[in-house]
Amino acid sequence: MLKEFIKKITDWALEKEEEAAKKCEIPIEEIEKQLKILNDKKEELQKKCEEQLKELDALIERIEHIKVQEELRCKLKEEKN
C-beta of residue 31 within 8 angstroms of C-beta of residue 21:
yes
Q: What is the pTM of this model?
A: 0.63
Cα–Cα distance, 81 to 73 (Å, whole number): 13
Name 20's Cβ contacts closer than 8 Å, sequence gap at least 6.
26
Instruction: Note down pLDDT in tens along the chain; length 81 residues.
Output: 888 988 898 999 989 888 888 888 888 999 899 999 999 999 999 999 999 999 999 999 999 999 999 999 888 888 886
Cα–Cα distance, 11 to 21 (Å, whole number): 15
Residue 68, CB-side half-sphere exposure with 13 Å CA sphere: 6
Amino acid at 6: I
